[in-house]
């Protein structure tokens, strides 16, 4: 797409293409007719190329789409790992340590929430606090969050999972393009908290299901 400077109102320009030094230009001939005379003016109009900006936008859209596809692939696989389980099975402990599938779902939501909390700060140039300093380590943080959520009903745990993930996708949709095309601090935090995190628990749930075999109905 190119943008040209349009002649003033009332002129009747005739454009002729011209190129020099790799730059596209147009010769514009304008004729004005008065009483018994014609005035002809020839002037040069520069064409401003917008191709580079268009290509940059296309690349940006590809990067964002690929990142969202990667996130969605891991997300769908995680949800598929516990699909079909009854409420009793979702609440059964021992899937990972003492955790039930319900506890794992709440845990995954916790780290999506952490991403929602810290990604905006990273975009502003901030540095999230260290878990070792604030909580005594990541394991201590996980134990604290599990304790805080242990009284939540299963339906609320499932609702929070979907709601938090939806808001996370919205953050990615709004994120600056230069944060998505390479391994920035933003993208690294996103990977560790989400699509690099989901597969660990999806695998644990599938292995637990394999060990226990099909349930009797």
Look at residue 149 and tell me whether its pLDDT is greater than 80. yes
Together in a domain, 79 and 169: yes
Look at residue 114 and tell me whether its pLDDT is greater than 60. yes
Together in a domain, 80 and 101: yes
Q: What per-residue confidence (pLDDT) applies to 215?
A: 62
Among residues 42, 51, 53, the alpha carbon closest in space to that of 23 is found at 51
The model's pLDDT over 53-108, given as tens digits with 9 standing for 90+, comes to: 444 444 467 889 999 999 999 999 999 999 999 999 999 999 999 999 999 999 99
The model's pLDDT over 155-192, given as tens digits with 9 standing for 90+, comes to: 999 999 999 999 999 999 999 999 998 889 999 999 99
The CATH number given to whatever domain includes residue 141 is 1.20.120.450
| CA–CA distance, 15 with 18 (Å, rounded to integer) | 9
CA angle 193, 195, 201 (to 5 degrees): 85
Q: Are 77 and 202 in contact (CB under 8 A)?
A: yes
Any domain includes 217: no
Q: Domain range holding 28? A: 2-49
Averaged pLDDT for residues 198-208? 98
Q: What per-residue confidence (pLDDT) applies to 39?
A: 52
Together in a domain, 15 and 80: no
| CA–CA distance, 113 with 42 (Å, rounded to integer) | 64
Together in a domain, 79 and 142: yes
Together in a domain, 18 and 109: no
**Count of domains observed in the chain:** 2
Q: Which two tokens stand for residue 111?
A: 């780290």
Look at residue 147 and tell me whether its pLDDT is greater than 90. yes
Q: What per-residue confidence (pLDDT) applies to 60?
A: 64
Q: Are 190 and 165 in contact (CB under 8 A)?
A: no
Together in a domain, 94 and 31: no
Q: What is the pTM of this model?
A: 0.72
Q: What per-residue confidence (pLDDT) applies to 214?
A: 67
Together in a domain, 33 and 131: no
């Amino acid at each position: 797409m190119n943008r040209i400077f349009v002649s003033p109102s009332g002129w009747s320009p005739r454009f002729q293409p011209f190129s020099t030094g790799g730059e596209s230009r147009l010769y514009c001939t304008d004729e004005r007719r008065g009483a018994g005379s014609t005035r002809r003016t020839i002037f040069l109009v520069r064409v401003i190329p917008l191709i580079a900006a268009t290509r940059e936008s296309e690349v940006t859209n590809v990067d964002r789409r690929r990142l969202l596809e990667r996130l969605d692939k891991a997300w769908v696989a995680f949800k598929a790992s516990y699909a079909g389980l009854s409420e009793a099975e979702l609440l059964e402990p021992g899937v990972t340590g003492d955790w039930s599938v319900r506890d794992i779902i709440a845990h995954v939501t916790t780290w999506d929430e952490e991403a929602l909390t810290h990604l905006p700060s990273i975009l502003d140039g901030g540095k999230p606090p260290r878990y070792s300093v604030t909580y005594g380590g990541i394991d201590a943080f996980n134990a604290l969050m599990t304790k805080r959520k242990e009284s939540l009903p299963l339906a609320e745990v499932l609702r929070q999972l979907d709601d938090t993930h939806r808001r996370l996708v919205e953050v990615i949709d709004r994120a600056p393009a230069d944060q998505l095309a390479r391994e920035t601090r933003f993208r690294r935090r996103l990977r560790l908290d989400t699509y690099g995190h989901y597969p660990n628990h999806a695998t644990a749930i599938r292995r637990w299901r394999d060990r226990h075999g099909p349930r009797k109905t």
